[in-house]
Structure 1
């Protein structure tokens, strides 16, 4: 993938705090036109939970199909809500098709196919200039896919480009491009391996599957095989696998089959049929006996993983296994949660899930053991829950809640026409894997028919077999990720010889074809925003959208981590964590069960400057969902037992931060640039362990009374509800919430910051195959002011986005990183610029020098050029409709506008604002704000590797231990 690898699963993934697991399965399943009104309160509609049959009826993606003479299958779904078309291309080739010595080829070739074809020098530049978003690709065991969402007038361009790389790629695959993308992929592997638990997936695959099984080796492959890939090898890989007869093309959105067919025939019809992809036998494997394995790694907590292989996605047991594992460890009310986290409190987090692929599946559960508990205690409880599920099965209530949550999640995905997980992907996967684009409905219908006994029986058939159990123990990393992920018998057979280059002559294979010119885009449509006010003064904002029967709501309180006094970091976040852990009338389990019954998702999270209670629910269930959310926000119990559980989870989050390279960099960087006592210094971290240890229930109750109150709140809503209905429901839940009469404390973030200081601070992290770099300084900016658009576009030129100068240099030219990005985070106080990347360890100093040189040159010796100017101005104007396709995207825009103090429909001004920015404006912004003088550079890496390199930079260097973070 251009940025990460992807997995397929029907059920929502269960979360587990395993940062940076970028490898593939088995993996953790781990902001004018405003209407202003004041509405009178009415009784809300207290509709009960929508039935599963009603939910399934709402999940509908009508489609038509046609097949060209060369075998290319096209699926067309019409959705006229926006002038956009999702273009989704699935190739029937993944890592399971790779022979020994060629592991990682499918993923490597996915990267190569982005570098250009015979008529397209760079795949991203024309698409982004035309207004495309979500231009990306991914590789899995079973397939390779490419996605882009384009304005309707750019569809011809997108189809021509997809056809050009399908039919006429080989004349553009040079040794230089191969070498570059090989380096990028190897750095992607190093980045994943460098994370805590980063070797987990390799070890699970090795334990579950024999050498040679198509699903055993990792999607990203082995370092040796990637190094040995020759130009002739990758050319043959393309010839063998990328014919149109091995492809499904999905066009979704502002398009119909009658219009699409001649366009597809024009661009793809002349491509000759290719060879059929060879499908290898790949059955689930039953172990001869249970296997108990252990490995040490630089991880914050002991982790227990239990895993089995299982049946493919079309097998009758696949759906009951997905639902059963979701009940076991995916629901918030899951059995493993109740037994190990809420019950005996021997774990800080648990999860479980079943991931079904084309020929095989993986059942997995994960338990992070509390430091004050033992592995044996956790295993005994986990074993008991498995035994109970296999013996008794789930209850009908558990089954209903699980299937409701899964269907509700799928409804939310219907908002997106394209991209990963959008309607195009849903249809294309069904066609590719099963021959039925509507297979998603087959799965849902199977789900609706399930009985508890169906689930129990499937679990019994598959999970009573011997399991592979792996425990990862904190300690020194003893395994080398560079030696893992391959075929698995390298110790018996010599590895392929590294490729030393090729003199193979690269020649054109197809006709010269000009790129179509995209048609103009229409005027941006952004929803109208209505305003109201509850009887207690809480302001309400509504952007009504009726594309799906769901509502997304955010109740924002003007208080975040910045309100923590020095030395008490983590207080506000811990209080916020406690809100979902029980109220005066509901336990944490009651809250979980009720939200699942409603098909609702409710969360409360603390940001740096504000805290937000978020609700996503089905429209018919809004009233009941708001009642539950109000109880969580207004009436937390702060019970002692819940506090101990939440405390252990926050301490685990702090430990996770102090072992994950990116989080370690953030913890070091904030105090260095803002100063130790500034509210921003630690506001974006999980807090201080000693401060969290010292918190009492009384402390948290006082924190709640001080900051979570109607005077600090505002409510913003996007979705399928009228303002009349919304205010009635809100009045019933929040209208009687009154102030206690005390003054709201002052929240100040404008304290002085230290002068920028040129320095390098290295945090020693032994055995790191990559170095994490975070660099930047405070800028003259404070908050948001009109006219900052030129700066945003200048930052896009230098470091924000795939086509930025920094990414094109460090990744696409030099191959030293998987990706790099720069940003100027929005804050109400002083704002900083930050550049972040993870680079191969032996290029740490070189990468720092490249970043500093590139930023210093812009604009002094290298001002913005015409291509860049068009891309960040006209290109951004063209892609605006893509940015606000979903309720969540619109809600995020509204919240951003409110936080910055902008007009609530600021996005409607952007076409004119971007259109008025010229090259001089961008160059001036870069000269004022983006220069690297006074940069603080934080390096998280192996001191023994980076120290000799840093001397050549001529910058002051300080070394600190990870324990000091």
Structure 2
């Protein structure tokens, strides 16, 4: 093999002490409360002119009574439908530059998050206070009916996935009827159908009050500034009834329980479950670490035995999912096709029993703890959102009365002993187990009838009147909407550049927010480099890099990453094959050495090639079982044609037959052909300096010599077939939803930046407030979400539209998609509200887009790939300001029309066939198993 360096030493690399890592996790805060009971936490982080606004309400699905399942989640949706002084919650926030504007519901709470420019904080607080104290006058029967439809389609979308009914079966098996954690958060269709306007109003008055809420402001803010703002907007809202948690502890089954369900899945999945402790029980942390050792780490007991050594499974996992008052401790195995279920099941149970009896080793426990702490450090980069610093503080206060609960948890995790973990495992996992098996076959259970209280069939409730008029609401005086203060232009980090001695270019941006470093090595390859008779080569080759080098086997690679708190991932996109490292800054040197060994010295051992090829074939089977997977596999060949490098299944997994034929020699050849230094670029973002970084990169990658053979190239200029508009139907029986995906090639390449087109696509379908989503989801209630996208590859770009819709509206949805696309701009050009949202909103929101090192890393990589200047994003506001409605309309007229679209529809043919006659497009049928659909 050309250019192989001397082997890297296999000795374990030194790692920073765990205690030092724990000390790095810190979120300083100040706390104050209003007279009405609203508690506010303020964390100052001046790294960017943005503020994360996080609101947690103590109301979740566990607070729902019989006949009212799904109410907490339904109300979360209603919260976005506008308040008495704000017709639509999202429009002003997006125009102000908010990102991560969202909400979610769990068993224990409902939360709402947005990250806004500092100048929009007054607006965000006004809006949060308006829906906390001035909402009910805006909740109408029409809004309730529409959001009911959206939630029901969210439920159908989840149910429609392979293994989609497991969530219901888990709760039904672990908890008795009436237990607050038994019914699913999304609830039952029957209860959602029965919800009246009076019901949801009472739900609001009983639960949504300032004394049941926690507000966190994190970022470019301090307590002295925050206190008067919070008092101004929230101070006059009255307290409400105190929400009290229902009794809801863990449940011990009287005897083991087994349940088997048939589903439209390719492989048998076996699950072992126990009800576990709540998050304030010390055993919850011990179980978390124990289950990581059992099946959560890459080097876990189950992975090593069942996937690597004995090859009885294609996937295993184990975790302790902990809620406030109870949790679910779970281990599962996806049995390898062709393996006797009884053999796999017996071995699975034996390994679990052995681990419960003996527990983890000190090294295993330390590796699990290090990975956990490293992950926590990474999350500290985000001030807001669902997993950032705001959420961490809010959950600590809400569930434990201590915003610094995360610190206490880390201290416990760092001090846990194998004996403590073993004792916790034996306390909880020697109780009677709930065994669930999902086996291939026609689905026999109906998700529409699952997720509710549990005894509706034997003890039905009187059917309420969902249209029963509600009492008239007395609203308060109008509240003026505060203006958004000026927002400065983005200050994108300075990019330093260098070149290694072998010619590999290096781009570096320093970020010191957290002690982590991200390194990405990108090669000009990707799925488009796959031979057409061997689709999936790049993906499998990259997956094998971590499965053994000339000096380390797969277990050694996994264990070393865990000791270092590092994560190495190799994968491909359409144009690029990449190896990416996330490293703790103190452990950067040994982490880079491991990354270099993985990249440069893969072993491609025959047994590992066979094992991963089998796993990849199983993954393809899972993709073919998924309605979304089927549609995405089909659309690219239909757009680009069989002979174009982009005419490949979008996941890159490839063709099962071709993958099964790949040999170590094939994969070695692909590696040496495409993963070579003269096709590579290195991009680094994080807590180091270029002076510290370059010697490490030179030592690990600078000695890598390119082979004498010419650089390979992809023919991205290959001919694309003339458009052939039509509907291609893939029959998937018993589907409560149809997945619609449409697409066509555009006369543009990714190197041709077109900001007007990007803004036009935002108006049409890219975002919650886009026309397609507002029409099909918010107005019609036929879908949980509709989206259009314009790709940015090196070669020919593509327009795609995707819409999962309820099955009985498939034809109507297709007609509406086509009509809405034609209407922009023929019948309705971009209006002033839309223009302000996509121009001013994008300008103000730019700092949010580059809050984390991962976001900056991605931006630099894309800029380099597409030939953009380093100041592309810093100068983007100037280009946005120069784009008006005329330019956006022109881009929509030229690029976003539906005339040449080909649509793939995956759904139940007997339901959708009669609906397609009025769409006006020819209809074809394709088998679900054909990954080369449309290649004629």
Contact 2:489 2:843 in 1 (8 A): no
Which residue of structure 2 aligns with residue 397 of structure 1?
A: 363
1:364 CA drift (Å): 0.7
Please report the TM-score for the alignment, with normalisation by the length of structure 2.
0.97
> 5 Å matches for 1:291-310?
291-310=257-276
Return the offset for 1:500: 4.5
Residue pair 1:196, 1:297 contacting (<8 A) in 2 also: yes
- Equivalent of 2:118 in 141, 152, 157: 152
Measure how far apart 1:929 and its partner are: 0.3
Q: Which residue of 2 aligns with 1:33?
A: none
1:731-746 → structure 2 map (5 Å cutoff): 731-746=698-713
Whole-Å Cα distance in 2 between the matches of residues 236 and 202 of structure 1? 27
Task: Tell me whether 1:567 sits opposite 2:516 in the alignment.
Answer: no
Q: Where do 5+ consecutive residues of structure 1 fail to align?
A: 1-45
Cα displacement (A) at 1:499: 4.1
CA contact (8 A) 1:87 1:424 kept: yes
Q: Does 1:663 align with 2:635?
A: no
- 1:348-402 Cα offsets, whole Å, 9 max, x none, are 1111111111100110112111002122222222222222222221111011110
2:73 to 98, 107, 110: 107
Match of 1:171, SS? helix
2:763 to 793, 797, 804: 797
Partner of 2:470 in structure 1? 504
List per-residue Cα deviations over 1:243-262 (Å, max 9, x = no partner).
Answer: 11100000101111111111
Offset at residue 962 of structure 1 (A): 1.1
Residue of structure 2 aligned with 1:753, choices 716, 720, 723: 720
- Which among 651, 676, 682 is matched to residue 715 of structure 1? 682
Q: Could you tell me which residue of structure 2 aligns to residue 364 of structure 1?
A: 330
CA contact (8 A) 2:777 2:784 kept: yes
Contact 1:224 1:498 in 2 (8 A): no
3-state SS of 2:816 partner: helix
Change (3 A) 1:499 1:852: farther
Instruction: Indicate the residue corresponding to 1:116 in structure 2.
Output: 82
Q: Deviations over 1:295-337 (max 9, x none)?
A: 1100121111111001111112111011101111111111110
Q: CA deviation at 1:731?
A: 1.2
Encode CA deviations 1:554-596: one digit per residue, 9 max, x unaligned. Answer: 1001111111222211122111111111001100000000010
CA contact (8 A) 2:198 2:469 kept: no
Map of 1:265 onto structure 2: 231
The equivalent residue for 2:747 is 780
Q: 1:523 aligns with which of 471, 475, 489?
A: 489
Q: How far 1:645 moved relative to its partner?
A: 1.0
**1:180-199 counterparts in 2 under 5 A?**
180-199=146-165
Find the partner of 1:477 among 438, 443, 450.
443
Instruction: Write the mapping of 1:90-239 to structure 2, written as runs, cut at 5 A.
Output: 90-239=56-205
- 1:227–1:499 contact (8 Å) kept in structure 2: no
Residue 577 (1) aligns with residue 543 (2):
yes
Find the counterpart in structure 2 of residue 879 from structure 1. 845
Kept after mapping to 1: 8 A contact 2:645/2:714: no
8 Å Cα contact 1:225-1:496 kept in structure 2: no
Q: Is the 8 A contact 2:197 2:466 kept in 1?
A: no
Matches of 2:584 and 2:219, distance apart in 1:
23
Q: How far did 1:498 drift?
A: 6.2
Equivalence for 1:10: none
TM superposition shift of 1:449: 1.4
Asked if 1:957 is matched to 2:918, the reply is no
Residues 868-916 of structure 1, C-alpha deviations (whole Å, 9 max, x = no match): 0011001100000000000000001111111211113310111101111
Which residue of 895, 903, 906 corresponds with 1:929?
A: 895
By how many angstroms is 1:857 displaced?
0.8
Structure 2 counterpart of 1:920: 886
Distance 1:340 1:349 in 2: 8
Distance 1:130 1:699 in 2: 52
Which TM-score applies when normalising by structure 1? 0.94
Q: Does 1:892 align with 2:858?
A: yes
Alignment of structure 1 residues 595-610 onto 2, 5 Å: 595-610=561-576
Give the 3-state SS of the residue equivalent to 1:340 in structure 2.
helix
Match of 1:554 in 2: 520
CA distance in 1, matches of 2:466, 2:712: 66
Tell me the distance in 2 between the aligned counterparts of 1:782 and 1:64. 50
Q: Which residue of 338, 341, 348 maps to 1:375?
A: 341
Count of residue pairs the alignment pairs up? 919
**In the alignment, which residue of structure 1 is the partner of 2:9?**
none
Q: Secondary structure at the match of 1:255?
A: coil
Q: Is the 8 A contact 1:760 1:956 kept in 2?
A: yes
Aligned partners of 1:172 and 1:506 also within 8 Å: no
Is 1:847 equivalent to 2:813 in the alignment? yes
Partners of 2:530 and 2:538 within 8 A in 1? yes
- SS of the equivalent of 1:906 reads coil
Distance 1:282 1:507 in 2: 35
Going from structure 1 to structure 2, the CA distance change for 1:936 and 1:499 (only over 3 Å counts) comes to: farther
Which residue of the other structure, out of 411, 433, 438, is the alignment partner of 2:377? 411
Mapped contact 1:638–1:700 kept (Cα < 8 A): yes
In the alignment, which of 637, 644, 656 is matched to residue 689 of structure 1? 656
Deviations 1:208-241 (A, max 9, x none): 1100100000000000000000001000000111
Q: 2:870 aligns with which of 901, 904, 910?
A: 904
Give the match for residue 3 of structure 2: none
CA contact (8 A) 1:285 1:309 kept: yes
Structure 2 gap ranges (5+): 1-11, 932-936
Q: Work out whether residues 299 and 555 of structure 2, in 8 Å CA contact, stay in contact via their aligned partners in 1.
A: yes
Q: Is contact 2:489–2:874 with CA below 8 Å preserved after alignment?
A: no
Listed one character per residue, the Cα deviations across residues 268-293 of structure 1 (whole Å, up to 9, x for unaligned) are 11101100113210011111111121
Partner of 1:87, secondary structure, is strand
Measured in 1, the distance between the counterparts of 2:409 and 2:244 equals 27
- Show the counterpart of 1:37: none
Other-structure match for 2:392? 426
Structure 2 vs 1, CA of residues 840 and 158 (structure 1 numbering), >3 Å: closer, same or farther? Answer: same
* Contact 1:172-1:508 at 8 Å conserved across structures: no
Pick one of 814, 830, 852 that aligns with 1:864: 830
Equivalent residue of 2:658, what SS? helix
Q: 1:682 deviation in Å?
A: 1.1
Q: Select the residue among 722, 728, 746 that pairs with 2:695.
A: 728
Within the candidate set 795, 800, 803, 1:834 is matched to 800
**TM superposition shift of 1:704:** 1.0
Contact kept? 1:47, 1:620, Cα under 8 Å: no
Q: Report the alpha carbon displacement of residue 524 of structure 1 after superposing the two structures with TM.
A: 1.2
Match of 1:763 among 725, 730, 736: 730
- Determine the structure 1 residue equivalent to 2:314: 348
Aligned to 1:635: 601
> How far is the alpha carbon of 1:505 from its aligned partner?
4.7
- Residues 272 and 433 in structure 2, CA contact (< 8 A), matched pair in contact too: yes
CA RMSD of aligned residues (A): 1.1
Distance in 1, Cα, partners of 2:359 & 2:428: 13
Task: Identify which range, 224-233 or 953-962, moves more after superposition.
Answer: 953-962
Match of 2:5 in 1: none
